[in-house]
Chain A
Amino acid sequence: MSVERINVIWLQGQGCTGDTVSIAGATYPSLTDILNGFLPQAMGITLQYHPTLMLPHGEEAQKSLKAAVKGELDPFVLILEGSIPDESLAKKTNGFWCMMGEEEGKLMTFNDWLDRLAEKAAAVVAVGTCAAYGGIPHGSPNPTGAKGAYQYFGKDWKSKLGIPVICIPGCPAQGDHMTETLTHLVLTVRGLLPPPALDKYNRPLFIFEHLVHENCPRAGFFACGKYSKEFGEPYCMGLLGCKGPITHCDVPRRGFIDGIGGCPTIGSICIGCTEPEFPDGPFSPVFKKAPPGVFASEAVRDILGKIYALLHRLKRRKI
């Protein structure tokens, strides 16, 4: 299999196009950097199908999906945006939740295309929390039986190249999270990097290892006991409902676009949008404080850390 050229197929299910908008805001590398091949090792990436950005429409647009199913676009990365509904529920009344054209007079659902393409894909990447874990459409009572790729394919599923579903959650996923992961995969396929290490929910650790709370510019205020009591104050947002202590994400530190923004960073609160349970408990109601248990365990670690630091301050320095 040649890796000179790597094709990308971007499929949208029950989504809002937020991840597409978000990737257009990525900076290092940007979407155009990737499509233009910003360095020799990252060249040869072709966006074969993207419903929002492509020039053709209709049947002409669908040609590349058919080509991918036939193996003509190998190797290709399948990117999913939006959740995957349970079409068997809609079929009960001869309907559908998410239709994607037809083939020889037969209705094609998003799921039909997904199943065909996933089988042939070199890797499947779920961008955004909907595609990863079901996100908003799977919020209780989940009227359409929506799932993310993590549940739909299962944690142990492997692509043709032996890569599990890679999840880049976030509502939407942060732009650079997507472009960095895609570039990482390209470099992996070309033997320049090992596959990205993943956490238990298949999130790349290089992005999602630490908590919002740990990455927060306001954590210094937290450490010295300063809490915002009203919105607008510059301190820790924990008492106003921030879910930073139970959410894995580095947006507070890296910003949302080109270093600007970030949820608790600017005075808002984290709502846990990168977690599989989002938007249900423990992440809702939005203004509900994170469970006290987290703060208790954090307090214990804090005390141990202070004792450790105190003891080490008394020692003679080594360097």
Chain B
Amino acid sequence: MESKNKVIFIEPLTRIEGHLGIHAVADTEAKKYTDAHAYAPMFRGFEIILKGREPADAIWLTQRICGVCPTPHGLASVECVDMTYQAPPPPFAVAIRDFTLIGEQLYDSPLGCGILQGPDYCETVVKKFNSEWWSEAQGRKAERSDLHGYSTIADIMTALTPFTGSLWLKCLQMAKLGRKMNIIFGAKHPHVGTFIPGGVAKTVTVSDLEMFASMLSQHIAFAKELTAAFDDLLDFLIDVGYDNAGVRENDLISYGAYDDPYAYNANYEDMGEWGEKRSVSPGVIINGELVTTDLIEINLGVREFVAHSYYEEWTEKDLEKDPLGNEIAVEHPWNKETRPKPSSPKNWSEKYSWATAPRWHDWKNKVNGELNVVEAGPIARLWVTAKAKKVPESTGNSLKFTLPKANVLGFKVSEELTLEWKIPKNVNAIERLRARAYYHAYSAYVAYNLLLAALEMVKKGEAKIWNPYKRPKNGIGVGLVEAMRGALGHWCVMRNGKIHRYQVITPTTWNASPRDLNENLGPYEKAIVESPITEPIESELNGIDVVRVVRSFDPCLACTVHVYHGKSKIVKEVSPFVNVPK
């Protein structure tokens, strides 16, 4: 008797950063997935390698956790070390750090939308798995074709085909340009070389700002096309009912991004204030509602568990209180000890992933007083910023901003354009992608305003890039920033000038987490469960819907398991393996 349940393994789960495996159970009668495990199969041991080194070295080493999103690691680390060394940078240096991060985000969003996730909806894939979508897409006019130039939805799907599609190629080109903007100030990318405690190691000239401005104008023009093309594609996918893929609770976390040059002072006691001055707000959302925007409260609520991860527990508490006298939990990264213990794979009831399970504790008991499974990513950033009303662009239920005029050859729209990202009904695979495209536009908008502010600083003679500092012997620090994939935290405890403890929790650790001690599913796992099967159900499943859901999070696995590496596998597939068309 054939069971209606099919188990699939997807390893390697390609078009993501790093190694990831997914085990999913499909109910082929109900046409949906009923269970899932996400596992990270690679380990390197950064926290162990960092011990005993100088905290400043972490700024370089921790970027090597991830070659796709290194700059946020560098920024989280330099802010963490600024605090540990008590070395605040001058305002102009903060602006330069912001430019470096924005350059990376302008690369990372087209990379995610166009190269890593977009191809899940390209002509080849849609024709193969969702032929009924394809015929509908061919007849569907693209509403915003005046902005992006494609006349039907099918044209957009064709444009997303790897290596040949025009949108795919343009995303590749714009991603490279974003990296060039990054290295004007960052020296090299991946792994920028200019973040130093107390500022930046960069001889800044007006040439740099002009070069940056010229490249930015292209990204401003491109943002108008990218958001329009994705709005059209995603609205179509909602119309065919795909917004029930990848749904999970509206529980989100953001640490905020793009510091206000005049507010950031690297001081822990003031972190709540300078955090709220960021252009992207920090915050925690539970059930769609804002719980807090205070970075101190957010930081102290972070917990990490290893019940289903290849590590041994730690029980000792190094730090009892933070500098303000608040209690620090034993599961907080300031107290965490990384103790790897490899053991057998796919042991679902025991340990099965090199990723840990971070959770956010509502320690002030504002909504439930519980450990919450929260999701990180551009959708979390936009949701929090739209709700929080900490920036003028925030309306309480949307984020509304106007991209300036930009006359650039090779782009469709030169006029200024007002964009509005509205808080969706729920978090799902489609909305994660849309948020990624809009985050590109918002980042370009922030860069433009910041550039004007930087020119003003130059005019006033305030273009200082570094404050020399004296290294104290002991200290603690935390750096909370946003990578493209979401909330990224670094924590340092320094003793006798050396790293006593250094911990990192990446956005993909939040999202790819295995079950926790209470058997709550991690965000990938939860999002797969109840997702529909849209591919034809034949003898074997390909799992395309699972990978679409997982890829909507833009996985970055080297990050997650700062030490592991995994892949996923599909049971059987017959079609010939087609590679780069040539």
- Which residues in A have some Cβ–Cβ distance to B below 8 Å? 12-22, 24-25, 32, 35-37, 44-49, 51-64, 67, 82-83, 89-91, 93-102, 107, 110, 135-137, 139-144, 146, 171-172, 174, 230-234, 240, 251, 256-258, 260-263, 265-269, 271, 273, 279, 284-287
Residue from A16, A135, A285 having most chain B Cβ neighbours under 10 A: A16
Given known A266-B187, A269-B193, contact A137–B45 (CB-CB < 8 A): yes
B36-44, B318-326, B328-336, B366-374 - interface stretch: B36-44
Contacts of B54 in A (CB 8 A): 284-287
Contacts of A46 in B (CB 8 A): 579-580, 582
**Can you list 16 contacts pairing A with B, beta carbon distance less than 8 Å?**
A45-B582, A55-B125, A55-B162, A60-B575, A61-B577, A63-B577, A99-B566, A100-B19, A143-B44, A174-B188, A232-B201, A232-B464, A257-B183, A266-B185, A267-B202, A284-B57
Which one of A35, A58, A135, A171 contacts B580 once the chains associate, using CB atoms below 8 Å? A35
Structural contact, A94 and B344, CB atoms closer than 8 A: yes
Report if B272 contacts A (CB, 8 A).
no
Contacts of B115 in A (CB 8 A): 53
The residue in chain A whose Cβ has the minimal distance to the Cβ of B58 is A286
| CA distance in complex: A12, B582 (Å) | 24
Q: List residues of B (172-197) whose CB comes within 8 Å of A's CBs.
A: 172, 175-176, 179-180, 183-191, 193-194, 196
Given known A18-B67, A52-B15, A286-B56, contact A59–B573 (CB-CB < 8 A): yes
Interface string of B332-359 (1 = CB under 8 A from A): 0000000011111100000000000000
| CA distance in complex: A59, B563 (Å) | 24
Contacts of A64 in B (CB 8 A): 577, 579
| CA distance in complex: A97, B46 (Å) | 13
| CA distance in complex: A90, B310 (Å) | 11
| CA distance in complex: A96, B354 (Å) | 10
| CA distance in complex: A110, B310 (Å) | 18
Residue from A47, A59, A98, A110 having most chain B Cβ neighbours under 10 A: A59
Structural contact, B188 and A261, CB atoms closer than 8 A: yes
| CA distance in complex: A17, B176 (Å) | 15
| CA distance in complex: A67, B70 (Å) | 34
Q: How far is the CB of A222 from chain B (nearest CB, A)?
A: 15
Structural contact, B200 and A231, CB atoms closer than 8 A: yes
Contacts of B124 in A (CB 8 A): 55
| CA distance in complex: A287, B469 (Å) | 13
Which one of A58, A83, A146 contacts B570 once the chains associate, using CB atoms below 8 Å? A58
| CA distance in complex: A224, B571 (Å) | 66
Contacts of A279 in B (CB 8 A): 49, 57, 60-61
Residue from B46, B60, B345 having most chain A Cβ neighbours under 10 A: B60
Structural contact, B48 and A260, CB atoms closer than 8 A: no
Which one of A32, A91, A232 contacts B203 once the chains associate, using CB atoms below 8 Å? A232
| CA distance in complex: A140, B46 (Å) | 10
5 more A-B residue pairs beyond the given contacts A17-B18, A59-B572, A231-B200, with a C-beta to C-beta distance below 8 A: A16-B66, A60-B577, A136-B64, A267-B201, A279-B57
Interface string of B44-82 (1 = CB under 8 A from A): 111011000110110111001111101000000000000
Which one of A94, A233, A262 contacts B188 once the chains associate, using CB atoms below 8 Å? A262
Report if B399 contacts A (CB, 8 A).
no
Contacts of B340 in A (CB 8 A): 143
Which one of A25, A49, A139, A262 contacts B61 once the chains associate, using CB atoms below 8 Å? A139
Q: Is the interface of B mostly helix, strand, loop or mixed?
A: loop
| CA distance in complex: A297, B21 (Å) | 53
| CA distance in complex: A231, B196 (Å) | 9
Structural contact, A172 and B48, CB atoms closer than 8 A: no
Structural contact, B67 and A20, CB atoms closer than 8 A: yes
Report if B558 contacts A (CB, 8 A).
yes
| CA distance in complex: A141, B340 (Å) | 14
Interface string of B158-177 (1 = CB under 8 A from A): 00001100000100100110
Structural contact, A286 and B579, CB atoms closer than 8 A: no
Structural contact, B564 and A93, CB atoms closer than 8 A: no
| CA distance in complex: A63, B551 (Å) | 21
Contacts of B564 in A (CB 8 A): 97-98
Structural contact, A285 and B183, CB atoms closer than 8 A: no
Q: List residues of B (1-29) whose CB comes within 8 Å of A's CBs.
A: 8-19, 21
Structural contact, A12 and B19, CB atoms closer than 8 A: yes
Contacts of A67 in B (CB 8 A): 577
Report if B234 contacts A (CB, 8 A).
no
- By Cβ-Cβ distance, the 6 closest A-B pairs, closest first, are A95-B342, A18-B67, A58-B570, A261-B183, A143-B45, A267-B203
Which one of A101, A144, A232 contacts B12 once the chains associate, using CB atoms below 8 Å? A101
Contacts of A98 in B (CB 8 A): 19, 41-43, 564-566
Contacts of A35 in B (CB 8 A): 163, 580, 582
Contacts of B527 in A (CB 8 A): none
Structural contact, A257 and B9, CB atoms closer than 8 A: no
Report if B477 contacts A (CB, 8 A).
no
Contacts of A231 in B (CB 8 A): 196, 199-202, 465-466
Structural contact, B573 and A263, CB atoms closer than 8 A: no
Contacts of B45 in A (CB 8 A): 137, 143-144
Q: How far is the CB of A78 from chain B (nearest CB, A)?
A: 16
| CA distance in complex: A12, B183 (Å) | 25
Contacts of B199 in A (CB 8 A): 231-232
Contacts of B343 in A (CB 8 A): 93-95
Structural contact, A141 and B49, CB atoms closer than 8 A: yes
Given known A21-B68, A143-B48, A266-B194, contact A99–B565 (CB-CB < 8 A): yes
| CA distance in complex: A18, B572 (Å) | 31
Structural contact, B57 and A286, CB atoms closer than 8 A: yes
Report if B283 contacts A (CB, 8 A).
no
Contacts of B563 in A (CB 8 A): 14, 97, 137, 143-144
Report if B277 contacts A (CB, 8 A).
no
| CA distance in complex: A45, B49 (Å) | 39
Given known A35-B163, A53-B115, A231-B465, contact A172–B11 (CB-CB < 8 A): no
Structural contact, A267 and B194, CB atoms closer than 8 A: yes
Structural contact, B67 and A14, CB atoms closer than 8 A: no
| CA distance in complex: A136, B188 (Å) | 17
The residue in chain B whose Cβ has the minimal distance to the Cβ of A138 is B49
Structural contact, B571 and A59, CB atoms closer than 8 A: yes
Report if B543 contacts A (CB, 8 A).
yes
Which one of A54, A143, A232, A240 contacts B14 once the chains associate, using CB atoms below 8 Å? A54
Report if B526 contacts A (CB, 8 A).
no
Residue from B53, B184, B199 having most chain A Cβ neighbours under 10 A: B53
Structural contact, A58 and B9, CB atoms closer than 8 A: yes
Q: How far is the CB of B408 from chain A (nearest CB, A)?
A: 18
Report if B392 contacts A (CB, 8 A).
no
Which one of A25, A99, A172, A271 contacts B19 once the chains associate, using CB atoms below 8 Å? A99
Report if B204 contacts A (CB, 8 A).
yes
Q: How far is the CB of B342 from chain A (nearest CB, A)?
A: 2
Structural contact, A263 and B187, CB atoms closer than 8 A: yes
Structural contact, A172 and B342, CB atoms closer than 8 A: no
Report if B468 contacts A (CB, 8 A).
yes
The residue in chain A whose Cβ has the minimal distance to the Cβ of B574 is A60
The residue in chain B whose Cβ has the minimal distance to the Cβ of A5 is B582
Report if B547 contacts A (CB, 8 A).
yes
| CA distance in complex: A53, B172 (Å) | 11
Which one of A44, A93, A230 contacts B342 once the chains associate, using CB atoms below 8 Å? A93
Structural contact, A56 and B14, CB atoms closer than 8 A: yes
Residue from B43, B125, B344 having most chain A Cβ neighbours under 10 A: B43
Report if B308 contacts A (CB, 8 A).
no
Q: How far is the CB of B187 from chain A (nearest CB, A)?
A: 4
Contacts of A90 in B (CB 8 A): 342
Q: List residues of B (555-569) whose CB comes within 8 Å of A's CBs.
A: 558, 563-569
